Amino acid sequence: MRLTKRYESAILNIPPTPMVYLRKVIPLKRSTEKKILKLAIPATIENLLQTLVGFIDTLMVSKIGLMAVTAVGVANSALNVYLAIFIALSVGASSLIARNIGAGTVKEAAKTARQSTVLAAVIGLLFGLVTIGFGRTILLLMGVSKDVLHYGLTFFVVVGGSAIFLSLLTVFGSVLRAIGDTTSPMKISILVNLMNIVIDYLLIFGIGPFPELGILGTAIGTVLSRILGCCLLFKKIQQTELAFERHSLFRMSDYRPLIQLSIPAALERLVMRLGQVIYFGLIVVIGAKTFAAHSIAGNIESFVYMPAYGLATAATTLVGSAVGANHFSEANRIAYLAAKFGVLFMSGLGVILFFGSPLFARLFTQDSAAIQQIIVALRIDAFNQPGLAISLITTGSLQGMGDTKTPLYSTIVGMWGIRIVGVVVFGQVLGWGIAGIWLSIGIDLYTRSLYLVYRFHKKSKNFVREERVLDKVSA
């Protein structure tokens, strides 16, 4: 397909360095399949590593006692709400940056990187102040006991009070991924998480000259590793064409495009989180052992869906770049191939999940009744994997196009209209227990996938018509 004049100009004016990452985004001779995988694989490894480190952290905290594990879990539930907002901001930033890069308007991309940094700092600082001032109240509202509060407040105030570093870490990583550099965030994540594990180990248990700080040591390790990650990611950004001077952070500019994309993404995350609170409460009503089995099955599944998240990251970046360059047919092809890879990978992992479920379940518990429920959940979930892949990756493709509203609508209907209702009908009324829970998850995922694909196809057709008009005009 012939390049538009604006796109030709963008390529011809790219300097040899530091635009190396932009070349990875702009469609060149390299096959689309290789471009997708080159972005997706590092993002998958990064997500997988973060999940693994979470397990290691929990294992070390468990040596303090069950109260400490519960305290960290409750505090992280509140912090996940913060993270949802930070991720939403990063979605808006990555979408705008990728489209500006594709259009060759690098200055606009740099402006978005600067604006997202300002917003991340302001929002993170506000959440930090709220945590320090009202941390005890927030945890009490979550229903924690006095014993759990003792541990939880320490962790929550230290980690939540420094939320600015989590906010900046999230946004900086997305800025680099938006220009096609998923390798640097992966490498930095490896270093940061290793540092987190080492500091946790030294300060939790008081190894050598280090004091034994218990749960405070966990919090300090988390904060110090995030500070290191922020510094390294910012330094990497400054080596690209998106570099900006620190004094420019106070420059006045129009934040509306970034905010307009971020608000629906934030609402989508909050709707999901609130739905999960109701959803988990309904499962508890079915039975404590069922809830435990469901939680274990969810933890096991978290390792499986990482490739879909990696491919969704690649889709957002590449689709956004193609749309910015008015290459709408290429955007459509990228979205299709990313979803195809996702279905293939996730189906293969689903087979492993189905046949390996007895082994996986016994790694977490020796309770025979719980093991049986976990096996049922994982074997149903094995068939849910293609739907999960399509929904996650198509969401990434839509966000690359600048559509953050459609994922919001799909989450409202899927979580509240299907999943929660499904738990009540299948899990409680019909008495199917954990089978009904995971069946409702599957119905939600496949329904959501159909809607998202329909919306993407409709938007894509409109874009392709526009591309044909542009080609005729420039012929």
User: Is there a contact between 85 and 123 (Cβ–Cβ < 8 Å)?
Assistant: yes
Query: What is residue 363's three-state secondary structure?
Result: coil
Reported as type and span, the H/E element at residue 277 is helix 256-286
Residue found under tokens 């280090």: 210
Quote the domain boundaries for residue 59: 29-253
In a domain, 157, yes or no: yes
pLDDT given for residue 351 in this prediction: 96
Same domain, 91 and 159: yes
pLDDT given for residue 149 in this prediction: 84
Among residues 253, 280, 305, the one where a domain terminates is 253
In a domain, 270, yes or no: yes
Nearest to 161 by CA among 212, 222, 244: 222
By CB atoms closer than 10 A (0-12, 13-18, 19+), residue 425 is middle
pLDDT given for residue 18 in this prediction: 37
Same domain, 110 and 133: yes
Same domain, 170 and 317: no
Same domain, 227 and 359: no
Same domain, 340 and 456: yes
pLDDT given for residue 381 in this prediction: 95
User: Is there a contact between 20 and 290 (Cβ–Cβ < 8 Å)?
Assistant: no
Same domain, 104 and 154: yes
Residue type, 124: G
Q: Give dist(CA 234, CA 242) in Å, integer.
A: 11
Q: Give dist(CA 280, CA 274) in Å, integer.
A: 10
- Residue 262 is given by DSSP the state H
Same domain, 188 and 308: no
In a domain, 292, yes or no: yes
- Provide the residue-wise pLDDT of the chain in tens; the chain has 475 residues: 334 433 333 333 333 333 444 444 444 445 888 889 999 999 999 888 877 777 777 778 878 876 777 778 778 878 888 988 999 999 999 999 999 998 889 999 999 999 999 999 999 999 999 999 999 998 888 777 777 788 889 989 999 999 999 999 999 999 999 999 999 999 999 999 899 999 989 999 999 889 999 889 999 999 999 999 999 999 999 999 888 877 666 677 778 889 998 999 999 988 888 888 788 778 878 887 788 888 888 888 888 888 999 999 999 999 999 988 888 888 999 999 999 999 999 999 999 999 999 998 888 778 888 899 999 999 999 999 999 999 999 999 999 998 999 999 999 999 999 999 999 999 989 999 999 999 999 999 999 999 999 999 998 887 767 656 656 665 5
Same domain, 207 and 278: no
Cβ count near 421 (within 10 Å) = 15
pLDDT given for residue 7 in this prediction: 35
In a domain, 216, yes or no: yes
Which tokens belong to 142?
């979550």
Q: How far is CA 382 from the centre of its chain?
A: 21
Work out how many domains the chain is built from and give that number.
Answer: 2
